[in-house]
Amino acid sequence: MPRILVFQHVAAEPLGTLDRLIRARGHRIRFINFERHPDAEPEIDRYRGLIVLGGPMNVDQHGERPHLRTELRAIERALALGKPVLGICLGAQLLAHALGAPVRRHSQQEIGWYALELTDYGHADPVISPLTPASPVFQWHGCTYDLPAGASQLARTDSCEQQAFRYGENAYGLQFHLEMDAPLIERWLGSPSYAEELAGAGLSQNAETIRAATATHLAVMQPRAEAVFNRFLDLIGRPARKLVLPSR
């Protein structure tokens, strides 16, 4: 049975709604949780695709988090093998960095709900195009990246230019969180470390305004997110059906 490798950085940032979509296709998921197993050395060659999730750390924290170098090597290997790669938030930054682009602190954090604007490439892209103009997406990040050489910019927001890109035919970086559902958003808002980050960001959005916006925007985002994720999973393919021979 084909397997998908998932890099997870903290328990609070799981696959979310993407988990159900992967399992519905019959794929097995192999999680590497680097918070629990920082010395893991995964072999990407054995897997059909790679998904790199978000986390509160930064790409440049190699000294205190050497697993980030491990992840960069795995991403580079996946790209060399032509395997589908999806990076979400920190995962998008790691993908951009593996492609030679700098990652840095952004001038303004994005936390909460933001209107996404697709570029012309985004409108034509076979994976991300279900995110129609001004699609509301959920954000939680303080860093940004430059567009990697040879990549196509797919989306932006008013407050952060780089929101999504594609490299080659099947490597995607998404700065925003399409995998969110209401319990996961509430989990983040209720986490002391996440709440402290939100309070210190100096944004107009706070926990209560985010909850109110979630009640409005989540129902709009989720079907579009499902379409995007399913189109990415199409790049990985479906497990082959076992041939059942008729009994004699």
pTM, to two decimals: 0.94
Helix and strand totals (H; E) in the chain: 7, 9
- Separation CA 203–CA 112 (nearest Å): 9
- Separation CA 88–CA 94 (nearest Å): 9
Predicted pLDDT at 248: 45
In the set 71, 89, 143, 217, the catalytic residue is 89
- Separation CA 218–CA 93 (nearest Å): 24
Helix (H, G, I), strand (E, B) or coil at 210: helix
Residue ranges per domain, the chain? 3-236
**Facing residues of 116 across strands?**
135
- Please confirm, yes or no, whether 97 is among the known catalytic residues: no
- Please confirm, yes or no, whether 177 is among the known catalytic residues: yes
Predicted pLDDT at 244: 42
- Please confirm, yes or no, whether 89 is among the known catalytic residues: yes
In the set 9, 27, 97, 177, the catalytic residue is 177
CATH number (3.40.50.1470, 3.40.640.10, 3.40.50.880, 3.40.50.970) of 3-236 reads 3.40.50.880
Q: What is the mean pLDDT of each run of 10 residues along the chain (248 residues)?
A: 88 97 94 94 95 94 90 98 98 98 94 96 97 90 97 97 98 98 97 95 94 96 97 86 47
In the set 71, 160, 179, 217, the catalytic residue is 179
